[in-house]
Amino acid sequence: MHTGLSHTLDFDRDGKTLGHLSIPFSIDRSPYFQVKVPICLVRNGEGPSVLLMAGSHGDEYEGELSLAKLVRRLDPKRIKGRVTILPTANVPAVIAAKRCSPLDGGNLNRAFPGDPSGTPTSRLANFLEMELFPRHDVIFDIHSGGTSMEHLPTALVEHNTDPDRHRRGVELMRTLSMPYGFVADNGQASPTSMGAARRAGAIGVSGEFGGGGTVTVDTMEITARALDALMAALGVVEAPVLAPATGPSAPTRLLSLSRHSQGLYATSRGWFEPAVRLGDSVTSGQLAGWYHDLERLDLAEQALHFVESGIVLSRRLHTMCEAGDCLIQVAEPVD
């Protein structure tokens, strides 16, 4: 009886290896079922090491497609050190085109440090934090807004109590050339990949690269440049692999998101119409949008106003909302 998570990978073999992490999970339609998480190892001797992952949430495609390309294009002879690629980390969610795994409801980015005898998502998280992350200097986890949300392109690191590591993380984040960046503080026990990276002794870098359950020419370019820039900065590659080299970009502007009042939430079913665009600078009290009730044409739409000033960071795309949905968020610029 197989339990936990198994694989037959040799992490110290040079060259390119395509394989799977296998998580047994006996289910109705398949008694000996195993979640098969695709993984690609690319190695060329000693050197820097980086883990590139996407698909923590299944419907965030910018990183999934970019890493699928990278799996095919990365020539082991032209790299130095080690690149490990997980293009579809929570693969049941990817195949279902959902944020969370349909097998266990698991949200991989809330599942760390996981449990070696838990649900598939929890076992995967545990393997990543305990076995895979410690083999790498840097963990880069690519996110986006997913199906229901648009999000400003924003890089992110979590605060690290070690000042050197913290500074190194912020440096790497700036390397990605994203227009905005966050330094989040989710605590030592953070259930995110960034918390896991920190606990594993690696430097974690993440970010939001688009949204809407789609990819565009623009979001794919941003993602490609961030990947190329990160690998170059680490010394893994010498030339860009995914996108042609470009000139210098504007510096990353740091933002802060730390108060509940920076988001507006629905408290009843309704239809949301925004009055602003992503990236707009708004002030406290400014009109954020309207909330309609299409079954009550006799009632005026409710005007919604921002509680906090800042830059419009994300917005719910699906017009029809339920109580509890986050409609719009503003982030505060940090100088």
| Region 275-334 residues binding its own copies, contact defined as CB under 8 A | 275-277, 292-298, 300-301, 314, 316-320, 322-326, 329
Length of the chain: 335
d(CA 166, CA 159): 6
Residue 331, class by beta-carbon neighbours within 10 Å (0-12 exposed, 13-18 middle, 19+ buried)?
Answer: buried
Q: Which of 13, 36, 167, 305 binds its own copies (CB under 8 A)?
A: 36
Cβ atoms of 62 and 94 within 8 Å: the answer is: no
Whichever of 148 and 175 has its CB closer to its own copies, that residue is: 148
Binding to its own copies (CB under 8 A) within 57-96 occurs at 57, 59, 61, 64-65, 68-69, 71-72, 87-88, 91, 94-95
Q: Is 245 in the site for its own copies (CB under 8 A)?
A: no
Total number of residues that touch its own copies (CB under 8 A): 91
Output the smallest distance, CB 178 to its own copies, in A. Answer: 19
Q: Is 27 in the site for its own copies (CB under 8 A)?
A: yes
Whichever of 30 and 161 has its CB closer to its own copies, that residue is: 30
Binding flags for its own copies, 198-237, as an x/- string (CB under 8 A): --------------xxxxxx--x-----------------
Whichever of 137 and 206 has its CB closer to its own copies, that residue is: 206
Whichever of 22 and 175 has its CB closer to its own copies, that residue is: 22
d(CA 209, CA 255): 16
Output the smallest distance, CB 193 to its own copies, in A. Answer: 12
Output the smallest distance, CB 246 to its own copies, in A. Answer: 18
Output the smallest distance, CB 293 to its own copies, in A. Answer: 8
d(CA 83, CA 185): 27
Q: Which of 165, 271, 286, 332 binds its own copies (CB under 8 A)?
A: 271
Window of 36-44, 125-133, 172-180, 234-242 that interacts with its own copies by CB under 8 A: 36-44
d(CA 205, CA 166): 11
Output the smallest distance, CB 157 to its own copies, in A. Answer: 14
Q: Is 183 in the site for its own copies (CB under 8 A)?
A: no
Whichever of 99 and 136 has its CB closer to its own copies, that residue is: 99
Binding to its own copies (CB under 8 A) within 100-159 occurs at 100, 107, 110, 145-149
Nearest to 26 by CA among 35, 38, 13, 18: 35
Q: Is 256 in the site for its own copies (CB under 8 A)?
A: no
d(CA 51, CA 74): 14
Q: Is 169 in the site for its own copies (CB under 8 A)?
A: no
